[in-house]
Amino acid sequence: MTYLLMSLPFIAIALIAFGLGALHARRRGALGPYLSAWAVATASLIILTVIFDNVMMAAGFFDYGADHISGVRLGLIPIEDLMYPIAGALLLSGAWQMLAGGHEGGDRESGAGERGAGSREEGRDA
C-alpha cells in the first residue's frame, strides 16, 4: 500500500469537516475570511514542511521506501509527505469554525465586545 492511498481516508474526513465549516461560515457571512485564513495557514504549513522535511531527510533522520511512494519529489521529500499538513489544515479549520466560529461580539459573560467599545467611546466624549 502506498502512502498516497493511506492518506486518502484522512483527506476525505478532513474535506468533510472543512466543507461543514465552510457551510457554517457562509451562513454567518464569513466565507471569505474562512477561506483566506485556511489558504494562508495551508501555504505556511506546506512551505515549512518542504523546508524542514528536506533538512531532516538530508541529515538522514528518516527516509521513505521507494516501493511506497509515487516517485514525484520536491527536493528529497515525496509529494505524499504534503498530504499530512493539508489534511491537518482542512480538519482544524473546519473544526475551529464549527466549534468557535459562532462567537461574535466578544465575551458574552463579561460584557466585552460591541457594548464595551461603545461605552469606552462615550467616556471619551464626556
What's the chain's Rg over C-alpha atoms? 21
CA dist list (Å): 26 to 18, 50, 101: 12, 32, 11
**What is the average pLDDT across 69-77?**
91
User: What pLDDT does residue 100 have?
Assistant: 81
Percent of the chain with pLDDT over 70: 79
Most confident of 22-31, 65-74, 104-113: 22-31
Q: What is the DSSP string of 8-24?
A: HHHHHHHHHHHHHHHHH
- Which three three-digit cell numbers place residue 86? 493539508
**Strand pairing partners for 32?**
none
Which of 62-71, 88-97, 100-109 tops mean pLDDT?
88-97
Q: How confident is the model at residue 124 (pLDDT cuts 50, 70, 90)?
A: low
pLDDT higher than threshold 70 for residue 106 = no
Residue 50 CB contacts under 8 Å (≥ 6 apart), including other chains = 74, 75, 77, 82
Distances (CA, A) of 72 to 4, 18, 81, 106, 108: 11, 27, 11, 47, 51
Per-residue model confidence (pLDDT) at position 107: 45
pLDDT over 90 percentage in the chain = 66
Task: For residue 102, name the pLDDT band (cuts at 50, 70, 90).
Answer: low
